[in-house]
Amino acid sequence: MTLMRDFRVDSITCHLTEYEIEGECCPMCPPGTRVKTDCTEFKSTSCQKCPERTYMDLPNRLKRCYPCSTCGSAGLKEKLGCQLNADTVCEPMEGFYCTDLKSEGCAAAQKHRRCEPGQFISKMGTASTDTECSECSSGSFSDGTMLSCQPHTQCEKENLQLIKAGTSSTDAECGEKSSNTTGIVIGVLFFLVAATIGGGGQAGGAEEEVALPGKKNIVLYLNIIRQFFWALL
């Protein structure tokens, strides 16, 4: 590509699209090209297309085009590929936000903040803003990944008993209510067994004849206890 030079004898004030060299005003090369040879008194500027992976986005007097940027930095990905007249455009990856805006793209990105246990995500992060976190109020909890804090489970309302109180980061732990009925029944049964054995020993007459009814009652009560436990299971 050859551009016509603007030869001025009495002035070296060049136009905005020209550059001065050795007293001559030479035409700049257009975007997407570079200067191959400067103009002379007899020849105008010679321009050449930018090589692969380089670009030139403005009219220029440069002998080399700019190298295309890469989006290899952490947190960036390619949005638009490099062209002859425009650099690569990068954008933040998912989970990152831009910390250094560059024309239409992004030059640096940072990972979104992670809320701590006991906090909830009050505002989701975007490609241009970081995540915002807020503290859970009393009686609620969040592991740090929730969009709102959840109220602690009310064990009493579930007809359960509290095993472990909830914190700002964990829910309350509930369990089945313990009952004294089992202990009472077992105590009564053993009392009856003891009374039967005791009664057998105090009765008059031959010991063998009195002991037999007591043994039968023991077997009966043991069967009752066994059936009671099977019913509980």
CA distances from 150 to 2, 123, 158, 173, 191 (A): 72, 17, 17, 14, 50
Residue 182: band (very low, low, confident or very high) from pLDDT cuts 50, 70, 90: low
**What distance in Å separates the CA atoms of residue 212 and residue 6, rounded to the nearest whole number?**
136
Q: Can you give the pLDDT at residue 74?
A: 83
Q: For residue 81, what is the DSSP state?
A: -
Pairing of strands 76-80, 89-92: antiparallel
Q: Can you give the pLDDT at residue 177?
A: 82
Kindly report, residue by residue over 128-137, the tens digit of the pLDDT: 999 999 999 9
For the entire predicted model, the pTM comes to 0.61
**What distance in Å separates the CA atoms of residue 221 and residue 194, rounded to the nearest whole number?**
11
Name all domains of the chain by residue range, CATH numbers in brackets: 18-65 (2.10.50.10), 68-111 (2.10.50.10), 112-170 (2.10.50.10)
Containing 96, the helix (H) or strand (E) segment is: strand 96-102
Kindly report, residue by residue over 106-129, the tens digit of the pLDDT: 999 999 999 999 999 999 999 999
Residue 181 clears pLDDT 70, i.e. is over it:
no
Give me the phi and psi of 95, to 5 degrees please.
90, 5
Q: Can you give the pLDDT at residue 231?
A: 54
**What distance in Å separates the CA atoms of residue 80 and residue 109, rounded to the nearest whole number?**
17
Q: Can you give the pLDDT at residue 203?
A: 45
